[in-house]
Amino acid sequence: MTTTTTNPKQRLALRGDLLDFTSMPGWAQLDSPAVRFQPDHWLLIEDGRIVGTQAAAPDASWDREDHSGKLILPGFIDTHVHCPQLDVIASYGTELLDWLNTYTFPAECRYADPAVARAGAERFVDALLAHGTTAAVVFPTVHKTSAEALFEAAAARGMRLVTGKVLMDRHAPDGLRDDVAGAERDCIDLIQRFHGRDRLAYAVTVRFAPTSTPEQLAMAGALCRADASLFMQTHVAENRSEVEWVARLFPDARSYLDVYAREGLLHPRAVLAHGIWLDEDDRRQLAASGAQVAFCPSSNLFLGSGLFDWPAARAAGFRVSAASDVGGGTSLSMQRNLLDGYKVQAMAGHRLSAWAALHAATRGAAEALGLGGEIGSFDAGRLADVCVWDWARGPVAEARHAVARELHEKVFAWMILSDERNLLASYVAGKPQFRRRPDR
Ligand SMILES: [Zn+2]
C-alpha cells in the first residue's frame, strides 16, 4: 500500500440566501421548479470549486464568511460588451452608424498604444467585477495588443473571458483597419497563445458585416471551421439603416444573418448581439445552428435601435442571453440591463419574469456558451464565481423589500431597484476579487 501526502484543501463557506437555477424557467411562470432558493444556507467551496450547500454551519475545517440576510447569486455573465467603449458610454444624440463614426471609432483608435490598451483592459475587468459580472464575452479593438491586454488582465484575476482581435478591413477610419492576411496571422498567433489557457478562450470577432470584405468574412469562417472549439462574436440586425446598408453591400445574401451563415460563422459557439430585425427564416436558421443572440436592452433603447422579440426567439427555439453592450448600453450593471429588458418586453406587450431574466444572465448564458459545466450555477463541481448582494439599499428599496411576501415579488423588486451599489463582494473561483469599501 502506498500513502500519498496531499496539501490540505482550501475550504471556504459562504452563508446567505442562495439563489440559482436548475434549468430554464418557463417564460411567465412565477412559481417555477427551475428556481432553487435556499434561504440562510452555506455554500461550500473547496479549492475554488463548489462542492455543495447545506443549512447547518460547517465544521471548523472551513473558513466561514457570514453574509446572512444577504442574497448570493452566481456571478453574472455579460455576453456582449466592448472594453474600449467605457470611454464613450453616455454619448449624446445619435443612432448606431453615426454613433460609431462620431464617438466609438475615435475612442478605439487610442487602443493602438499598448499602454492605453493595458490600462483600459485593467480598468474594464475591474469594473466588471465591481458590477457583479465575473465572466464576459468582450470586444476589444482591431489592434492585436488590445486583445492581448484583455487576456492578460482576465488571467491575472482568474476570470473566464472570451475575446478576440476585432476584424475590420473596410468602412472604418485610418488606424482602425486591418487586412485579410495580417488579420489571419494575428488571429492564429493569439489563438495559439491564449485559447484554452487558464480560463481564456478565443472568439473570432467580426465587428459586423459592413466593416469586413467578403474575403475577410471567408477567412473568419475558415478559422471557425478549422477549430470547432473557437467562439465567434459579431453584431446582427441591430438598426434599420444598418440592415439596409448590409442589403446593398451583399445583394446576393437572403438576409443580414445569411451573410454570416453562408461563410460558416453560425455555429453553437457563436454569439450575435441584438438580432432585432430578424425574420422567421432567420430565427429558424439561428435555432438550427445552435448560435445564441445576446439581448442588449439598454443599448437598444439608448440608441433607439428597436425592441427585441424574446418570445419569438423562444418559439423558434434559439438561445438568448443578457448583455450590456456598453458603450451603446448605459450600464455594466446586469440589473440595470434586465430592468430595461423588462421595459422593452413590456413595450411589445410581453412580461419578463425575474426568473427568465436572471436565468439569461447566469445559467442560461453559461449553457448557451457551452460553459454550463464551469459557471452559471451552484451545482457541485462548478467554479465558485459568486456574488453577494444587499437585498435592498436606501429607504425606498428597503420599504419595498420589507412588504414583499412571495419569492418572485422579492427577487423582482431586487432586480428592478438594485444596481452595483448593492454589491458586497465578487468571488472568482473562490477568491475575492472585489469587496465594497466599508464606508460605502
Ligand atoms: Zn456591441
- pLDDT tens-digit readout, 86-112: 999 999 888 889 999 999 999 999 999
Does residue 144 contact residue 186 with C-beta atoms inside 8 Å?
yes
Tell whether the model's pLDDT for residue 1 goes beyond 70: no
Ligand 1 mean position to 52 CA, how many Å?
A: 37
Tell whether the model's pLDDT for residue 320 goes beyond 60: yes
Mean predicted lDDT score pLDDT of the chain: 96
| Torsion angles phi and psi, residue 80, rounded to 5 | -160, 110
At position 57, the amino acid (one-letter code) is A
Q: What is the pLDDT of residues 268-284, one digit of tens each?
A: 999 999 999 999 999 99
Average pLDDT rounded to a whole number, residues 403-426: 98
pLDDT at 93: 86
Ligand 1 mean position to 236 CA, how many Å?
A: 10
Does residue 220 contact residue 167 with C-beta atoms inside 8 Å?
yes
In whole angstroms, give the CA distance from residue 322 to residue 417.
18
pLDDT at 63: 97
- Extract the runs of DSSP E, i.e. beta strands, from 313-399: 319-322, 386-389
In whole angstroms, give the CA distance from residue 300 to residue 340.
9
- Nearest 5 degrees, angle CA 288-CA 290-CA 295? 115
C-alpha cell at 81: 460588451
Listed residue (126, 106, 118) closest to 144, CA to CA: 118
Query: Could you tell me if residue 417 is left (phi over 0), alpha (psi between -120 and 50 degrees) or otherwise beta?
Result: alpha
In whole angstroms, give the CA distance from residue 97 to residue 95.
6
Ligand 1 mean position to 311 CA, how many Å?
A: 22
Residue limits of CATH 2.30.40.10 in the chain: 11-75+377-435
Ligand 1 mean position to 327 CA, how many Å?
A: 8
pLDDT at 94: 87
Ligand 1 mean position to 215 CA, how many Å?
A: 22
Ligand 1 mean position to 109 CA, how many Å?
A: 17
In whole angstroms, give the CA distance from residue 308 to residue 168.
26
Ligand 1 mean position to 235 CA, how many Å?
A: 6
Query: What percent of the chain clears pLDDT 90, i.e. is strictly above it?
Result: 95
Ligand 1 mean position to 324 CA, how many Å?
A: 9
Does residue 261 contact residue 300 with C-beta atoms inside 8 Å?
no
Ligand 1 mean position to 325 CA, how many Å?
A: 5
Residue 17 pairs in a beta bridge with 71
Residue limits of CATH 3.20.20.140 in the chain: 76-332
pLDDT band with cut points at 50, 70 and 90 for residue 439: confident
pLDDT band with cut points at 50, 70 and 90 for residue 7: confident
Residue with cell 436572471: 358
Tell whether the model's pLDDT for residue 417 goes beyond 60: yes
Residue 166 pairs in a beta bridge with 205
In whole angstroms, give the CA distance from residue 109 to residue 173.
9
Q: Which helix (H) or strand (E) holds 340?
A: helix 334-347
The yes or no reply on domain 11-75+377-435 and CATH 2.30.40.10 is yes
Ligand 1 mean position to 313 CA, how many Å?
A: 19
Q: What is the pLDDT of residues 370-407, one digit of tens each?
A: 999 999 999 999 999 999 999 999 999 999 999 999 99
pLDDT at 132: 98
CB-count exposure of residue 31 (10 Å: 0-12, 13-18, 19+) = exposed
Q: What is the DSSP letter of 198?
A: T
Ligand 1 mean position to 167 CA, how many Å?
A: 14
pLDDT at 438: 87
> What sign has the CA pseudo-torsion 151, 153, 157, 163?
negative
Give the CATH H-level superfamily of domain 76-332: Metal-dependent hydrolases (3.20.20.140)
Q: What is the pLDDT of residues 179-224, one digit of tens each?
A: 999 999 999 999 999 999 999 999 999 999 999 999 999 999 999 9
Ligand 1 mean position to 81 CA, how many Å?
A: 6
Residue with cell 469599501: 437
Ligand 1 mean position to 415 CA, how many Å?
A: 23
C-alpha cell at 186: 494575428
The lowest-confidence range among 94-103, 152-161, 302-311 is 94-103
Ligand 1 mean position to 206 CA, how many Å?
A: 11
pLDDT band with cut points at 50, 70 and 90 for residue 435: very high
Q: Taking ligand 1, which is a single-atom ion, which protein residues have CB atoms under 5 Å away?
A: 273, 325
Ligand 1 mean position to 277 CA, how many Å?
A: 15
Ligand 1 mean position to 124 CA, how many Å?
A: 15
